[in-house]
Amino acid sequence: MFNVSPNTVYLLKRRFLETGSLKPRQRQSDYPHLITPEGCLYLKSLLSIEVDLTLEALRARYEKAYGIRVSIGTMFNTLKKLNITLKKPFLTPKNMRTKR
């Protein structure tokens, strides 16, 4: 009827018998974030001064400032969380015209 595998039914039945509910278990976050809120402010101020920094350059600067080495993925996800993109503005002939 619901198009689920027998294993799914078994797991849901077992969860209901153990917990009395079918709600998903809470995710447990045992690790602290490598880039702290203070580090996020540092990255924002760094990018406001030097807008052309690459992810690799940001990693190196963050490691030098805080002594914590982060991956490119962590740096990318942090910038995404802060709504910072690394895209350069694309200049079209219309944008390049000066007003007279």
Q: Where in the chain are the domains?
A: 31-86
Rg from Cα positions in the chain: 23
Cβ-contact 57, 72 below 8 angstroms: no
Average pLDDT of span 17-36: 84
Q: What is the mean pLDDT of the chain?
A: 86
Model pLDDT, residue 95 = 56
pTM: 0.59
> Which segment, 27-36, 65-74, 79-88, is predicted with the most confidence on average?
65-74
Model pLDDT, residue 8 = 92
Model pLDDT, residue 91 = 61
Average pLDDT of span 6-10: 93
Average pLDDT of span 75-88: 86
Cβ-contact 69, 59 below 8 angstroms: yes
